[in-house]
């Protein structure tokens, strides 16, 4: 039997005041009337805690778009779990935060340059970010600033680090874009150049050596010879529940056709975690073919990303095509050679 | 390795809990979960910003066999690396 999960990513809603072109939410956004109710989320949290979940990441979309957020947070926190709020900061006032029994706040920042940040977000939102950070600090909570990196903000990385420092962040998470959902649609405008990545690595190295912040940098996998690890393996540590109650082995898993995704309204979470076809599809190592099967790196990267394998090769059980040992690596190189675009299409608004 | 007279305490935003599912004490922090064995749980419980590593080892020796102060120091060093525990200065 599989080990119990540690974390639940609860995507409470797809509604969001921002319209970031790099958003990894699926193209088909869940509408408000299809979202789980307050009581249904409570039940999901109860089941998740019972199953062994110790960390609840409340995310979206923008979780603050849920009017019942205080009740949802209160319930999760009452179960003795760690509650992490993942927010754009829009709407995060001292008054609202005071109602939320969270342990940690993750605040997204699009860029350090206000005009460019607003362009990336598709909305004038930048001005709210420093205020939101202040509110978190004044509440005495640990603050992580999250930045998704791409061609349109990588050149400002040093300023971004300085901004996070000014905001008083305890941690800074710099993650190169992963191409799912809206980000895949905008790939030509988001893919960085090698020069940008090389410079970014220098900035990160320098910042790590002197900053009091903990800095986490997630590489741009298209430009690497090996894929990024899939979580700690498929169905190993974490599960995601989408706004409509779909239970996903990974947040991007809706892209894999025929995966057999199940919903928490029709099957208990415990059964979905342990017994479902979707969670067992790529668990462990038995599903692997060559070159992963015999590769010593399989314990490190788990053969890479299943979603990426599906998106680029049409078969989710293939080696992640980012890997230099994959017979499909040419597909990634082809993408890298495509001409770049400037215009970002803002993601749609979920209603 | 940590100095035997440092007085570690839990980092900001770090919570401890008992997990029925795993039948273990756990430490919860922004980026993860640590499942603790009995001695580690006892050490984490003493990270109050007042108890020195040397005192921790002494206390532990009352309840467990074969406690070495170096092992306690090493454990604290590992907890510091994960930012679960901090020391001043
Ligand atoms: S399948 Fe891909 S997107 Fe999903 S968790 Fe694994 S690496 Fe991430
Ligand atoms: S062959 Fe598979 S396991 Fe080996 S490095 Fe490539 S993706 Fe990872």
Task: Provide mean pLDDT across the span A225-254.
Answer: 94
C-alpha distances (whole Å) from A187 to each of A16, A173, A321, A331, B22 are 21, 21, 16, 14, 42
pLDDT band at B32 (very low <50, low <70, confident <90, very high): confident
Strands A214-218 and B15-19: unpaired
Cβ contacts of A112 within 8 Å, gap of 6 or more = A156, A159, A160, A162, A163
Strands B24-29 and B15-19: antiparallel
Q: Which residue bears the tokens 């797809």?
A: A14
pLDDT the model gives residue A27: 79
A288-330 tens-digit pLDDT = 999 999 999 999 999 999 999 999 999 999 999 999 999 999 9
> A54–B28: do the CB atoms touch at under 8 Å?
yes
Cβ contacts of B27 within 8 Å, gap of 6 or more = B14, B15, B16, B33, B34, B36, B44, B84
Q: In sequence order, what are the beta bridge partners of A239?
A: A8
pLDDT the model gives residue B1: 62
Q: CA of B42, closest CA in chain A: separation in Å?
A: 19
Q: In sequence order, what are the beta bridge partners of A87?
A: A107
| Angle between helix A306-313 and helix A329-337 axes, rounded to 10 deg | 70
Any alpha helices (H) in chain A, and if so which ranges?
A: 38-51, 69-78, 94-98, 114-121, 128-138, 157-166, 181-185, 187-190, 194-210, 269-275, 277-280, 298-301, 306-313, 329-337
pLDDT the model gives residue B46: 93
Residue A165 backbone dihedrals phi, psi, to 5 degrees: -65, -45
* Among A148, A214, A42, CA closest to B14: A214
Q: A25-39, A101-115, A253-267, A302-316: which has the minimum mean pLDDT?
A: A25-39
Mutate to test the interface with A, among B26, B30, B80, B82 (most CBs of A within 10 A): B30
Task: Provide mean pLDDT across the span A22-50.
Answer: 92
Q: Is A257 exposed, middle or buried (0-12, 13-18, 19+ CB in 10 A)?
A: exposed
Task: Provide mean pLDDT across the span A53-81.
Answer: 95
Name every chain B residue with its beta carbon within 8 A of the beta carbon of A50: 21
Q: How far apart are CA A187 and CA A153, in angstroms?
A: 14
> B13–A81: do the CB atoms touch at under 8 Å?
no
SS3 A167: coil
Compute how many other C-beta atoms are within 10 angstroms of the C-beta atom of residue A140.
Answer: 8
> A4–B21: do the CB atoms touch at under 8 Å?
yes
Q: How far apart are CA A28 and CA A26, in angstroms?
A: 5
Q: Is pLDDT larger for residue B2 or for residue A303?
A: A303
Is a pLDDT exceeding 60 seen at residue A109? yes
Instruction: Give the closest residue (by CA) to ligand 1 atom 8.
Output: A230
A57 touching B (Cβ < 8 Å): no
B47-83 tens-digit pLDDT = 999 999 999 999 999 888 888 888 899 999 999 988 8
B23 touching A (Cβ < 8 Å): no
Average pLDDT over chain A, rounded to whole?
A: 93
Is a pLDDT exceeding 60 seen at residue B89? no
Q: Cβ(A328) to ligand 2 under 6 A?
A: no
Q: Cβ(A259) to ligand 1 under 6 A?
A: no
User: Counting one residue from A and one from B, how many pairs have CB atoms under 8 Å apart?
Assistant: 44
Helices (H) and strands (E) in chain B, counts: 3, 5
A240-279 tens-digit pLDDT = 999 999 999 999 999 999 999 999 999 999 999 999 999 9
pTM across the whole model: 0.92
Is a pLDDT exceeding 60 seen at residue A167? yes
Q: Is A275 exposed, middle or buried (0-12, 13-18, 19+ CB in 10 A)?
A: middle
Is a pLDDT exceeding 80 seen at residue B12? yes
Task: Provide mean pLDDT across the span A231-235.
Answer: 92
Q: Using CB atoms, which residue from A4, A51, A103 is nearest to B13?
A: A103
Q: How far apart are CA A287 and CA B15, in angstroms?
A: 37
Task: Provide mean pLDDT across the span A205-209.
Answer: 96
A17-26, A115-124, B72-81 — most confident range: B72-81
Average pLDDT over chain B, rounded to whole?
A: 89
| Angle between helix A157-166 and helix A194-210 axes, rounded to 10 deg | 30
Q: Which ligand is nearest to the CA of A308?
A: 1
Q: CA of B13, closest CA in chain A: separation in Å?
A: 6
B29 touching A (Cβ < 8 Å): yes
Complex ipTM value: 0.85
- Give percent of chain A above pLDDT 70: 100
Residue A349 backbone dihedrals phi, psi, to 5 degrees: -95, 125
SS3 A336: helix
pLDDT the model gives residue A153: 94
């Amino acid at each position: 039997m599989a080990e119990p999960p540690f974390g639940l990513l609860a995507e409470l809603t797809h509604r969001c005041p921002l319209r970031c072109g790099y958003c990894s939410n699926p193209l088909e956004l869940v509408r408000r009337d299809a979202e789980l109710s307050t009581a249904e989320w409570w039940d999901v949290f109860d089941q998740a805690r019972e199953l062994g979940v110790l960390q609840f990441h409340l995310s979206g979309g923008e979780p603050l778009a849920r009017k019942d957020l205080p009740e949802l947070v209160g319930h999760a926190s009452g179960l003795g779990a760690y509650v992490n709020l993942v927010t754009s900061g829009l709407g995060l006032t001292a008054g609202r935060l005071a109602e939320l029994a969270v342990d940690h706040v993750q605040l997204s920042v699009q860029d350090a340059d206000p005009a460019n940040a607003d362009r990336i977000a598709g909305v004038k939102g930048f001005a709210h970010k420093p205020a939101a950070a202040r509110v978190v600090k004044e509440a005495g909570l640990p603050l992580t600033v999250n930045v998704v990196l791409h061609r349109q903000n990588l050149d400002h990385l040093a300023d971004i680090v300085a901004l996070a420092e000014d905001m008083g962040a305890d941690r800074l998470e710099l993650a190169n874009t992963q191409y799912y959902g809206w980000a895949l649609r905008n790939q030509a405008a988001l893919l960085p150049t090698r020069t940008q990545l090389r410079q970014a690595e220098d900035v990160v190295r320098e910042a790590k050596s002197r900053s009091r912040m903990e800095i986490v940098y997630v590489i741009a996998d298209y430009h690497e010879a090996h894929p990024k690890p899939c979580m700690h393996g498929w169905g190993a540590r974490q599960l995601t529940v989408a706004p409509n109650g779909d239970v996903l082995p990974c947040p991007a898993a809706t892209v894999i056709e025929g995966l057999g995704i199940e919903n928490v309204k029709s099957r208990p979470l415990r059964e979905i975690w342990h017994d479902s076809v979707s969670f067992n599809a790529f668990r462990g190592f038995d599903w692997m073919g060559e070159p992963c099967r015999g590769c010593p790196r399989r314990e490190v990267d788990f053969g890479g990303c299943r979603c990426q394998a599906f998106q680029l090769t049409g078969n989710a059980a293939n080696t992640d095509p980012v890997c230099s040992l994959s017979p499909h690596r040419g597909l990634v190189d082809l993408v890298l050679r495509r001409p770049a675009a400037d215009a970002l299409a803002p993601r749609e608004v979920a209603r | 390795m940590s100095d035997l007279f440092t007085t570690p305490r839990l980092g900001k935003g770090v919570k401890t809990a008992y997990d029925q599912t795993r039948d273990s004490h756990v430490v919860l922090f922004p980026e993860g979960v640590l499942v603790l064995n009995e001695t580690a749980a006892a050490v984490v419980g003493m990270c109050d910003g007042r108890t020195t590593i040397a005192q921790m080892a002494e206390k532990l020796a009352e309840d467990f066999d074969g406690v070495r102060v170096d092992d306690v120091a090493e454990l604290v060093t590992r907890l510091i690396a994960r930012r679960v525990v901090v020391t001043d200065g």
